[in-house]
C-alpha cells in the first residue's frame, strides 16, 4: 500500500494505492494521522481510485479519519471509489456519516 498526499486550496487529498487490508490499513492510518498532525487541514479528501483491494479494514480507516476530521472541526470527503469499495462502505452504513459519491 502506498499513500500519496496532495495539498491544494481546499485542503489535503490523500490517494490510496494498492491493497487496503488489515496490515496496510494500520500502517496507512498511522501515516495519515501523522500527516494530519502536521497540516491540520479543514478539508480531507480520501481518493480511493487506485485501490485494487479493500476489506473491512477500509471501513475502520474511513471511520477513524471521519472522527479525526470531526475533532478538528473539518470535513472528510471520499472520491473515486471503485465499485468493490463502494459496496463494502455502503453495506456498513458509512454513507450515514460520510458522503459517498454515486
| Of the options 3.30.750.24, 1.10.230.10, 3.10.20.600, 3.30.390.50, the CATH number for the domain spanning 2-96 | 3.30.750.24
Predicted confidence band of residue 99 (pLDDT cuts 50, 70, 90): confident
Ranges of each domain in the chain:
2-96
Model pLDDT, residue 10:
82
Three-state DSSP state, 62: helix
Find the mean pLDDT for residues 67-96.
95
Find the mean pLDDT for residues 14-36.
96
Q: The whole model's pTM is what?
A: 0.93
Q: What are the start-end ranges of the H helices in the chain?
A: 22-39, 57-72, 83-91
Dihedral class, residue 11 (left if φ above 0, else alpha if ψ from -120 to 50, else beta): left
Tell me the CA distances in angstroms from 7 to 28, 43, 45, 49, 101, one per residue in order: 18, 10, 10, 17, 21
Find the mean pLDDT for residues 52-72.
96
Amino acid at each position: 500500500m502506498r499513500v500519496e498526499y496532495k495539498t491544494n486550496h481546499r485542503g489535503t487529498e490523500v490517494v490510496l494505492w494498492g491493497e487496503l487490508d488489515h496490515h496496510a490499513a494500520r500502517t496507512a492510518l498511522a501515516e495519515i494521522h501523522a500527516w494530519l498532525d502536521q497540516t491540520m487541514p479543514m478539508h480531507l479528501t480520501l481518493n480511493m481510485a487506485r485501490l485494487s483491494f479493500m476489506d473491512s479494514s477500509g471501513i475502520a480507516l474511513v471511520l477513524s479519519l471521519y472522527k479525526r476530521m470531526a475533532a478538528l472541526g473539518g470535513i472528510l470527503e471520499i472520491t473515486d471509489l471503485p465499485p468493490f469499495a463502494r459496496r463494502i462502505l455502503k453495506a456498513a452504513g458509512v454513507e450515514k456519516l460520510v458522503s459517498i459519491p454515486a
